[in-house]
Chain A
Amino acid sequence: MASIDTPVRPGRRSFTGRRLRPADALLQGVAAIAATSAAVLVGLIAYKLVRDAWPAISRYGIAFVAHDIWDPVANHYGAASFLFGTVLTSVFALAIAGPLAIAIALYLTELAPRALRGPVTALVETLAAIPSVVIGLWGILVLGPFLAHHVEPWLHSALGFIPLFGSPSTGPQSIFTAIVVLTIMILPIVASICRELFLSVPRELKEGALALGTTRWEMIRAVVFPYARGGIAAALILGFGRAIGEAIAVTQVVGGGTIIQANLFSGGDTLASKIAASYQGADSNIQVAALIYLGLILLVFSLVVNLLAQWVVRQFGRGQGAVSRASARVGATA
């Protein structure tokens, strides 16, 4: 088939340029429809959320985000503790995963023996393919008990003077377990984007730096990081977006509870985990509306993060390689 088609095509094109115009128009039309429908979809989702959350919005107003009560019996609802839990878990997860992911990417592009790079890259990416419900289950049965019995007591005795490291949890569930689970989930995403970024740094630049007598670390600091700066920021924000929105695994390990406290080893909830845990069983209209209000807050939160991502990339990413721009776009769709 292909062998018949190939010689004809260039003939057509050389024959006249006009012939392809209908196809161009078609392409443009399809692409435009695809692009608009994505935008319309976001608009419709926002509209639907606002409409379904309206009973809660009109009842609680913006004060909803400042109240930390969630009482389905008395029908009093507020989002403060979930907002707090979301910020706490995703900021800490990013703080742990970010440096680790950059280190992994550097190792895979600059430091690892060539024979190791392929297999390790594949393994890191496999981590991203594990379903979150499986990670959550592993979190309750394996990771959680280990953290509670070994890591948390150790952190508490070493750093107990900081309120974050209060008395260790008795069971497998805590904010801390959720942070570690989220770290594991966002690590492969950030690492593989950073790896692509570092690979896109032109070889001449790196070799030039090395030829000037820099050490490998100096070369990385002087060439690789500045070149990939915007992209790294976008990758981190992409990971952050993933951490904010993760529901199932967090629901399984976070423990629940509406008490806002600094201790990472106590239970808590995030916006996404509360929605995942309670939506199906919600038995009053106002509770459903309050849960959808949580969803709306989550949407706004993600939007703000995305806008921030675009701004950051524009600030740091001027005049850089295509990959960093591409990943900026990836970041923007998180």
Chain B
Amino acid sequence: MKKSLSFAAVLALVAAVAAGMSAAAGARSSDTTITGAGSTFVSPLVQTWQQPVGGALGVTVNYNPIGSGGGIAAITNRTVDFGASDAPLSPDQFSACKGCLQIPWALAATAVLYNVSSVKNLLHMDGPTLAKIFSGEITKWNDPAIVKLNKGVSLPDTTITTVHRSDGSGTTWNFTDYLSSVSPAWKSKYGVGTSVNWPAGTGGRGSAGVSAVVSQTNGSIGYADVAFALKNHLKYFAMKNSSGKFTTPGLRGILAAASSDQKPDANNALSIVNPPKKFANAYPISTFTYVIVPETSAKAPELKKFLFWAVTKGQTFGPKLLFQPIPKPVLVVAEKTIKKIHT
């Protein structure tokens, strides 16, 4: 008797849960769901969009931050409605994606993190020195090159441990793009990519992994999107730009960098890494990040509604997360591209 009673109870419970689930599913199916995957860099921004988009447009946005490379693969295979990548598509990727559109939809910066005991925040750093550090040529914190950039700061004799992303990442693309543009040696030996053949250092999985390793390693230098660095109270460098000024990855520095390239190329790609010296306030490791959508989509109306919202209203959610709203000329191009999407 007892057994059958508890069996009945379990049955009732299962039935209740199932009913609840189908009710929830029913409530949701009146909205349209669009699914995206890709860049971890842009995911904090997309996450803040999800609720207002649901309220304003009746569109549910699911976003899976699996990394830029994964996002490109997912949209190429059409397993999602949109992909997101910090690295613009290469010509090969464009042709593989068969009729994909690339739209710049967010703008932010990569911070160069460090952790060395008893040293203040915002130490000075320049590109060539950073490239030598990540090549393993500079191995001590009190190396003359670093001391020269930080006069009056006493730097310890600590060994430098570089920390990079072990997974494929748009942040890595942005960072190595910068290193390649300031160091010909880096460009020829290691190049630009979402993952590269790191000559030295240790790898962390995701921004969270990098920050965990940086915070646990005295003497470490790593990189992550600036929102992540701030949220986790990590120290980061003020980077020397082409005009010789040391700038921080704040909104002003990102905006100045963005103004260096406002003419998207035929594929809407923009390059704002290491801008020329007339952009005196530019933070040199800034990047646009892109949403990639198929030109023909079964969910075209919802996709268009969502993307229009994202590049206009959605940008106002950015500054709190250190995403600079995209400049007007870029917005115009983005809107023109969104209009091309059809069923």
Contact = CB atoms under 8 A, between A and B. Distances in A.
Contacts of A71: 196-197
B68 to A, nearest CB: 7
Interface string B203-243: 11100010011001111100000000000000000000000
Contacts of A267: 201-203
A70 interface: yes
B169 interface: yes
Interface stretch (A84-92, A138-146, A233-241): A138-146
A69 interface: yes
21 contacts: A1-B4, A70-B197, A71-B196, A72-B168, A73-B190, A74-B197, A140-B212, A140-B216, A144-B216, A170-B219, A170-B220, A172-B217, A173-B202, A256-B164, A277-B166, A277-B167, A278-B168, A280-B69, A280-B168, A281-B67, A281-B68
A140 B216 CA distance: 8
Nearest to A70: B197
A24 interface: no
A69 B199 CA distance: 11
Contacts of A55: none
A171 B219 CA distance: 9
A255 B195 contact: no
Given A144-B216, A258-B197, A283 B168 contact: yes
A170 B70 contact: no
Given A256-B164, A257-B203, A280-B66, 12 more contacts: A71-B197, A72-B195, A74-B191, A144-B216, A172-B213, A172-B217, A173-B202, A255-B203, A256-B203, A277-B166, A278-B166, A278-B167
A281 B39 CA distance: 10
A280 B196 contact: no
A281 B169 contact: yes
Interface in A120-145: 137, 140-141, 144-145
B5 to A, nearest CB: 13
B261 to A, nearest CB: 23
The A contact surface, by secondary structure, is loop
Interface string A140-169: 110011000000000000000000000000
Contact of A72 (B196, B216, B218): B196
Given A72-B194, A171-B216, A283 B203 contact: no
Interface residues of A, number: 31
A1 B93 CA distance: 65
Contacts of B209: 140, 252
A73 B196 contact: yes
Contact of B203 (A1, A72, A172, A277): A277
Contacts of B66: 280-281
Contacts of A258: 197
Nearest to A274: B166
A73 B203 CA distance: 17
A1 B201 CA distance: 68
B163 A171 contact: yes
Contacts, number: 106
Interface residues of B, number: 41
A20 to B, nearest CB: 27
Contacts of B155: none
A302 interface: no
B216 A172 contact: yes
A265 B38 CA distance: 34
Q: Which of B159, B198, B212, B216 has the most CB of A within 10 A?
A: B216
Contacts of A173: 202-204, 213
A283 B217 contact: no
A283 B39 CA distance: 13
Contacts of A256: 164, 166, 198, 202-203
B161 interface: yes
A192 interface: no
